[in-house]
Amino acid sequence: MAVFTENDTGVERLYIGGISASSLYDTLPGYQDPAVRRFPAPRMLWTEDGTTWNAVPQTPGTFFGDLNVQTEKVNKRGFRSFLTLPDANGVNRLFATVSDLRGVGRVIESSNPSAGDNAWRQVSPSADDLPIFTIATYRDQIYATVGDDGFPNGYAIYKTDAATPDAADPSRYQFMPVVVGDGSQLMRARTAISMQEFHGDLYVGSDRPTELIRIHPDDTWDLIVGAARMTTSGFKVPLSGLNKGFNSMFNGHFYSMAAYNGDLYLGTWDWSQDLIGTPLDGIFNYQYGFDLFKTDDGVHWSVIDRRGLGDRLNSSVRNLEVTPFGLFVGATNPYFGLQIFLNSTVLDLNRDGVIDNDDIYIVVSSQNQPAESPSDPRDLDRDGVITLHDAELFATQCTHPDCSHGAPSNVDPPTGLEAVFQNGTPPLVGVTWNGPSTASRYHVFRSDPTSLVDLLPPTMTIPLPNGSTITVQDIRNGALDIPCQAGIIPADFCALVQAVRENTTSTRGFHWIGSTSNLYFLDTSPPASGDSLYYVVAEDASGRISEPTPAVSTVGR
C-alpha cells in the first residue's frame, strides 16, 4: 500500500496491490503455456475515500495487462513493496515490486499509476539477475534488499537514484551495490526483509539467520544484531552485543520496523509455536509468540514483549504502521486470525502516562497556532493548524472514557544500566544504573544463555515428518544434513537441526533475581559463562512500575 499524490490534480489516492490466485494452479503442467492466460494478472486498486475502490486498468497486450505472463524465472504473482519518490522535476512517481509468492521480484514505476496499461514500466533488471525483496527511500534514492536461493553469498543491499539509466538496458535504472554478501559467513540470510530510516541511518533486518545492520549516509555500515564476522569492509562485531535473532534462534524474520515517538521498533516472526504438539513443546514453549523490541539510539534495545503481546499464538509482527493516532501493530495468528494493537503514547503530550483533559487542554491552549512539524502530535488531523477539531479528535483517544485523570501510571525508567562480570570464585556480576528521583526501589531481572546440549539430551528421540524417529545425537552427527539441504524436510525443522548442529545458545526468559533501594545490585550467582542479559525497572512509593531499561549484556568477561 502507498498514498500517492496525483500529478494532474494534486489529490491523494491510496493504492493497494493484491496477490493473484495463480500460485495455487500454474505450477501444474496444464497451466504452464505462457501464451494461455488462464489467470488474470495480480490487481491493483485505488481509492480517494477508503470506501469506493477502482481497479487500475489491465488491458491484455499492455505492460500492466500482461503482468500474468511469466517472462522471468522468478514468477510474477502479486505486488509487495510500495514507495513514492519524485523525480528531479518534482513529478511524483509510484514504485512497487511485482513479486512471486515468497516476495522476490522486480521494481515497476509510474507517474500516472491509475492509468494502468502502458503507464507502468519495469525499471529494475530482471529478477533472475537482481532479485529484489523490499524497497525503501533513503536520502532521495531507492534502497533495495536483494537476494534469493542461489544469489551469491546471501543477501545484499543495492541502491538506485531512479534517474541514471542502466548501461545494459537504458529503459531501466542503474542499481549499485551498497552492502554485498561477503562469503565469510557459513550461514548467511538469503534475503533481507525490513528497512527503516532512523536518526539519519537506514536499518535493515534480514531473513534467517536474522541479523540487523544499519547503513550510514556514506554507505558504510554497522552490524547491530548478529554474529561477529570478517566482512569485505573489515571485522564487524554486533554493536548491541546481541547475537543472531536477538539471541533467539526462533526469530526467523526481522519482519517489520517503524520509527515512532523517538524510538525505532522492530517486530519478528517467531516460529517456535510450530513446535506445539512435538516433544520439544515443553522445552521451548516459553518462546511462543512474536518478539517486539525498541531502541532510542539504535544500539541499546529494550524487550517490549517476547510472547506475542499477550497471545502466544501471535506468530509475527507483519506490519508496524505509524499514524497520527499512534503506532499500529499488525500481528499474524495462524490459529485464530489477525490481531491489531495500537500504542497511542504519542498523544500523551505531558508524558504522565495518561491521555486525559490535561493533554486536551494543551491542544486547546495552542489553538490557531501552526503545527511545529508535519508530525506535530497536537495537529491530529494533519491540516497544519492546531484547532478545536484536533482537540475533539484527542477526546476520542482518552485513556479513561470521561477523559479524567484516573490513576497515572508513569514512572521514569532507570538509565545508564551497566553489568560488569568478575570471574572469581564465585563469579560475580555488578549491575549499576542511574535512578529517577521518584523511584523508591528497583527490581533486577536476568536472562541466562542455555546451550542446546543442556536443553536437548543426546538420547532424546524426535519424530520425523515421515513417521520414523531420530535421536538428538543422530542430528548432531549430521544425519539430517542432506535431507535438509535437499529441501525434503520442512525449513522450520531444518532451522532447529542447524541450531542443534551448531549447539546454538538460546536465551531463556527473563526472571527476577532481586530488589534494592540502592543504585547497584551484586549478582552473586550468575552463570559461570558470564553471558547473561540484565534489565532493571524502577518502582515509586505508590507501587507504580516503570518500563524496563534496555537489556544489557555483561562486559569484562
Residue type for 510, please? F
Q: Which CB, 222 or 348, lies closer to Ca ion?
A: 348
Q: Which CB, 97 or 316, lies closer to Ca ion?
A: 316
Site for Ca ion in 338-377 (CB under 5 A): 348, 350, 352, 354, 359
Site for Ca ion in 379-438 (CB under 5 A): 379, 381, 383, 390
What is the nearest approach in angstroms of Ca ion to the Cβ of residue 288?
6
Q: Which CB, 380 or 500, lies closer to Ca ion?
A: 380
Q: Indicate which single residue of 148, 270, 274, 539 sits in contact with Ca ion (rule: CB under 5 A).
A: 270
Residue 336, judged by CB atoms within 10 A of its CB (0-12, 13-18, 19+), counts as exposed
Tell me which stretch binds Ca ion (CB under 5 A): 59-67, 169-177, 306-314, 503-511.
306-314
Q: What single DSSP character describes residue 321? A: E
Q: Which CB, 140 or 372, lies closer to Ca ion?
A: 372
147 contacts 89 by C-beta, under 8 angstroms: no
Q: Indicate which single residue of 93, 159, 236, 306 sits in contact with Ca ion (rule: CB under 5 A).
A: 306
Binding status of residue 201 toward Ca ion by CB under 5 A: no
End-to-end C-alpha distance for the chain, whole angstroms: 48
The DSSP bridge pattern shows strands 229-231 and 263-270 to be unpaired
Tell me which stretch binds Ca ion (CB under 5 A): 13-21, 211-219, 285-293, 529-537.
285-293
Q: Which CB, 107 or 391, lies closer to Ca ion?
A: 391
What is the nearest approach in angstroms of Ca ion to the Cβ of residue 147?
25
Q: Which CB, 113 or 289, lies closer to Ca ion?
A: 289
93 contacts 77 by C-beta, under 8 angstroms: no
Extract the C-alpha cell encoding 532.
Answer: 547473561
Compute the residue count for the chain. 557
Binding-site size, Ca ion (CB under 5 A): 14
Cβ-proximal residues to 211 (8 Å cutoff; 6+ apart), any chain: 189, 205, 223, 224, 225, 226, 227, 238, 244, 254
What is the nearest approach in angstroms of Ca ion to the Cβ of residue 272?
6
472 contacts 462 by C-beta, under 8 angstroms: yes
Residue 216, judged by CB atoms within 10 A of its CB (0-12, 13-18, 19+), counts as exposed
Extract the C-alpha cell encoding 477.
Answer: 552427527
Site for Ca ion in 144-163 (CB under 5 A): none
CA-wise closest residue to 78 among 32, 12, 26: 26
- The angle formed by the CA atoms of residues 308, 302 and 493, to the nearest 5 degrees, is 45
What is the nearest approach in angstroms of Ca ion to the Cβ of residue 7?
26
Tell me which stretch binds Ca ion (CB under 5 A): 42-50, 266-274, 334-342, 533-541.
266-274
The 230-249 contact track toward Ca ion, x by CB under 5 A, reads: --------------------
Chain positions contacting Ca ion, by CB under 5 A: 270, 287, 289, 291, 306, 348, 350, 352, 354, 359, 379, 381, 383, 390
